[in-house]
Structure 1
Amino acid sequence: MSIYKSNIILNADSYKASHFLQYPPNTAQVSSYIEARGGKFKDAVFFGLQMFIKEYLTKPISSADVDEAQAIFEAHGVPFNEEGWRYIVEKYNGYLPIEIQAVPEGTVMPVKNAMVQVINTDPKCAWLTSYVETALLRAVWYPTTVATVSWNCRQVIACYMEETAESVEGLPFKLHDFGARGATTEEAAAVGGAAHLVNFMGSDTISGIMAARRYYGAEMAGFSIPAAEHSTITSWGRDNEAAAYANMLEKFGGPGKIVAVVSDSYDLWNAIDNIWGEELKDKVENSGGTLVVRPDSGDPVAIVTETIERLMKKFGYEVNSKGYRVLPSYIRVIQGDGVAQQSIEAILETMKQRKQSADNIAFGMGGELLQKINRDTMKFAMKASAAKVNGLWMDVYKDPITDQGKRSKKGRLAVIKGASGEVKTIREQDLGKRENMLVPVFKNGEILKEYSFEHVRERAAAGAIVNKQEEESAA
């Protein structure tokens, strides 16, 4: 997944290099945790740690890596813990002497709870716990945030399908990942693309499909269909727009097949009313497959609802048992421009008001899915909560009077489900016989627990059911 030779020693903020000199004398262990402290969503879908562990922590550092890091940090102007890193190479064959605990991937849990807990396993490496913060936090916050965005979109779409469609059978294909080209790097596309696939099965981000395959054993986590882009339509010339569309039907249409055709290159309304709805109408109706018309410009709410209305005028519709209009099965719409959770909800609400079923539409989401998020979207942080100094454990925490939202947790932690099913973070010493949701997943170079993509998806889906029940109870 890395685009260059990785050296975990250099996968850190510069100031981390000097921290080995800053801890109290005789500090033997430091324990830290990762949580989403709040932000945009009340629940988080934990995902992505396994990718990082497999890609970065199962590959040992070498003497050459230490040499490289020493040269870089010395030239960079900060101290370097050469002795500590060479000790890891010699004593642990280059594998990091840390233990990582985490809740099961796919778990849907309220924010402000520990998702991950890290501790050094060798008293000579107390500095190592916080050293890995930069890489580890990034490995958690990004895929978890993408999975959470996608999961919340799924809840919105599911709600409108339950209200206006005969069933939610098509839900896994209602939000397609269009985000590959907008991601900052191929690795981001891979990590974020896999995170979206936790909730849906439609994606054009091959990197995400490969990440789900390589790191979670998913033989094929996502699917796509032949689809036109503007260049493949406009290269025929404006006068041959109908021929370009006909070519799409001829090359990719047929019984059981689905083909998407972008239709706004020139005049969307002419494309619907005259080309699809008149000139090519017989081909569309008799292909045996499904044509998906894609408008790609203008106000999403107005354009989608008008597109569906015009298609219904030309191709007709049925009224389902819930009183909402549905296009014939051979024609549908996908909206891939300006799609975000808010616009999805606005489109579906307007469709509902116009008695258009959610069955008529699917969505493609790009920048809003993989790019327009950051660490503060869910206020992620990794903080030290306990340290063993002079043989005694002590609480480590921050409590700034200028921002109570940044108050951190104290002690070694455990995560439990309470009597009524609520998730809570408690001190590990108070766990008793209750089950700790924080499960050891990595220790000293060894993967202790591995999750399949199927099980990750099952947990995320189960979390949606619980969330819905809680909302219904509250109402």
Structure 2
Amino acid sequence: MTRISRILDADSYKASHFLQYPPGTEFVSSYIESRGGAFAQSLFFGLQIYLKDVLTQPITRADIDEAEEMLLAHGEPFNRAGWDHVLNAHGGHMPVRIEAVREGSVLPTGNALVQIVNTDPRVPWIVSYLETALLRAVWYPTTVATRSWHLKKIIDAAWSETSDAPQERLVFALHDFGARGASSSESASIGGLAHLVNFRGTDTLAALATARRVYHEPMAGFSIPAAEHSTITSWGREREADAYANMLRNFGGPGKVVAVVSDSYDVYRATAEIWGESLASQVRAMGGTLVVRPDSGDPRTTPVEIVGILAEKFGVRTNSKGFRVLPDCVRVIQGDGVDEDSIAAILDNLRAKGFAADNIAFGMGGALLQKLDRDTLKFAMKTNAIRVDGEWIDVFKQPIDDPGKASKKGRLALVLRDGAPRTIRAEERHEGEENLLGEVFVDGRLTRDERLEDIRRRSWR
């Protein structure tokens, strides 16, 4: 993908803002928050990707020349003197200081997550200029990580009630199938990695490369051999059993797991007659686990019915909580029509039929990485203060017809009070009270380098 100049990675109207601030403006402070939305809590993640991959890289003379030509032709003014100053005085690095909460922090919505201010009084306009890219770098991975975290809570609650399975297996209960449903390879890598804060199962290879490059994680997620419809149907309907036997022969074995999509023709017949009868002895004898995947029908009921058929054919045991569990040689994965509502419904239906939650795993695609937007968590970046002629002045908005869009005033701090995070004015912070908005970037340098293993621990305390 062709690299877009930092100066052009912005909304057009940003190019005119350098002429719009009050005379004498020296510094501009802005912050990012989730104002609410679909979830009451957000899991902050992903800023470091943007800082390392983009913001630590300087702009060049060629970038300025290209931006000047394009923006003037586009109908906007161009701040040639300002960008030349960034290049000449700062080597092309953005003269800003960014503070943020620790990645992996789970906070109630309505709290400041990031705060940014310029460090050079000659370029106060640069803070707002960076909004387009900076806000996008925060809202997308944080929203994916938040959705994944809430899904983990739903699954964890069902496991706690019905399952004896080791807790460490929970991280494989929701698999990322979303790479092909993402809008770009960059989205897949960032969103896929956001999911891996909470889980370990993924088919999004791009996320693994980003985890290694940005967060010091050699292998962030895992997968297993799995069939798709093209490989099964290539054998023809009459040889469906042969296609399944081939999967066991090539990928089965002690301690191994193999997933086989089984709805190419009739998932109920495939489960009962092929897996449950023709190939049952091979499934039992291989020493590993066959994961049967229905991929059509009602996602709330079909996988539960498949669990029931496997129970009839392979038997069950009853765990200490009184729920039925399939033998280790068979499990089910539902990867079609999966979201918060359907996962909760599937787990409820399993429980109602007396089955433990660990009989099933889930695969989530576009709904995980793509079926969301900035308004899912109502993300916004707003200016909260400016310094004019040496004096800090509060800046805020307070729309009369939409109180939910009111913004925060003054330079901010995030503190823990009465066990809960609270966003306050910086001057209201008590002596010795830690500001959870810690410096992560200043003048082109990353000043806090997070590791994925620490982020994971932080997110599930």
Aligned to 1:38: 36
Partner SS for 1:423: strand
The amino acid across from 2:74 in the alignment is: H
Aligned partner of 1:422 among 420, 423, 427: 420
Counterpart of 2:234?
235
1:173-184 correspondence to structure 2 within 5 Å: 173-184=172-183
Aligned position for 2:198: 199
2:79 maps to which residue? 81
Q: Render the CA deviation track for 1:262-299: whole Å, top value 9, x for unaligned.
A: 00000111101110011101100000110000000010
* Secondary structure at 2:3 match in 1: coil
Q: Does 1:249 align with 2:248?
A: yes
Per-residue CA deviations over 1:226-256 (Å, capped at 9, x if unaligned) read: 0000000000000000000000000000011
Q: Give 1:193 deviation, angstroms.
A: 0.3
- What secondary structure does 1:124 align onto? coil
> Across the two proteins, how many residue pairs are aligned to each other?
459
- Displacement, 1:62? 0.5
Residue identity matched to 1:445: G
For 2:24, which of 23, 26, 30 is the aligned residue?
26
Q: Secondary structure in 1 aligned to 2:122?
A: helix
Distance 2:93 2:245 in 1: 59
Instruction: Please name the residue that 1:456 is paired with.
Output: 455
Q: Pick one of 48, 51, 57 that aligns with 1:50.
A: 48
Q: What corresponds to 2:215 in structure 1? A: 216
- Superposed structure 1 runs of 4+ greater than 6 Å apart: none
Which residue type is aligned with residue 264 of structure 1?
D
- Cα distance in 1 for partners of 2:366, 2:149 equals 16
Match of 1:149 in 2: 147
Aligned-residue CA RMSD (Å): 0.6
1:315 is the counterpart of 2:314 = yes
1:102 pairs, out of 100, 103, 107, with 100
The within-5 A match list for 1:40-439 is 40-167=38-165, 168-418=167-417, 420-433=418-431, 434-439=433-438
AA at the equivalent of 1:362: A
Q: Distance in 2 between matches of 1:431 and 1:6?
A: 40
Query: Which residue identity lines up with residue 144 of structure 1 in the other structure?
Result: T
User: How far apart in 2 are the matches of 1:450 and 1:374?
Assistant: 27
In structure 2, list runs of 5 or more residues that go unmatched.
none
Deviations 1:21-40 (A, max 9, x none): 00000100000000000101
**1:169: how far off?**
3.2
Q: Which amino acid in the other structure matches residue 26 of structure 2?
A: A
Report the Cα distance in structure 1 between the residues aligned to 2:400 and 2:217, rounded to whole angstroms.
47
State the SS of the aligned residue for 2:168: coil
Q: Measure how far apart 1:209 and its partner are.
A: 1.3
Counterpart Cα distance in 1 of 2:94 and 2:445: 10
Residues 303-350 of structure 1 show CA distances to partners (whole Å, capped at 9, x for unaligned) of 011000001000000011111000000100000000001110010011
Q: 1:432 offset after TM fit, Å? A: 2.7
Letter matched to residue 390 of structure 1: D
Which whole-Å CA distance do the structure 1 matches of 2:264 and 2:49 have between them? Answer: 40
Q: How many angstroms apart in 1 are the aligned matches of 2:360 and 2:210?
A: 28
Deviations 1:148-176 (A, max 9, x none): 00000000000000000014331000000
Select 1:5's aligned residue among 3, 12, 25: 3
- Report the equivalent of 1:465: none
**Letter paired with 2:245:** A
Measure, in 2, the Cα distance between the counterparts of 1:30 and 1:42. 29
- How far apart are residue 359 of structure 1 and its match? 1.2
Provide the TM-score with structure 1 as the length reference.
0.96
Identity of aligned residues (%): 57
Partner SS state of residue 260, structure 2: strand
Which residue of 2 is the match for residue 472 of structure 1?
none
Separation in 2, partners of 1:139, 1:100: 13
Name 1:471's counterpart in structure 2: none
More deviation, 221-230/205-214: 205-214
Report the CA distance between 1:51 and its aligned residue: 0.1
**Which whole-Å CA distance do the structure 1 matches of 2:201 and 2:331 have between them?**
15
Alpha-carbon offset, residue 445 of structure 1: 0.4
Measure how far apart 1:6 and its partner are: 2.8
CA distance in 2 between counterparts of 1:176 and 1:339 reads 11
Aligned partners of 2:376, 2:327: CA distance in 1, in Å?
Answer: 40
Shift of residue 17, structure 1, vs aligned partner: 0.2
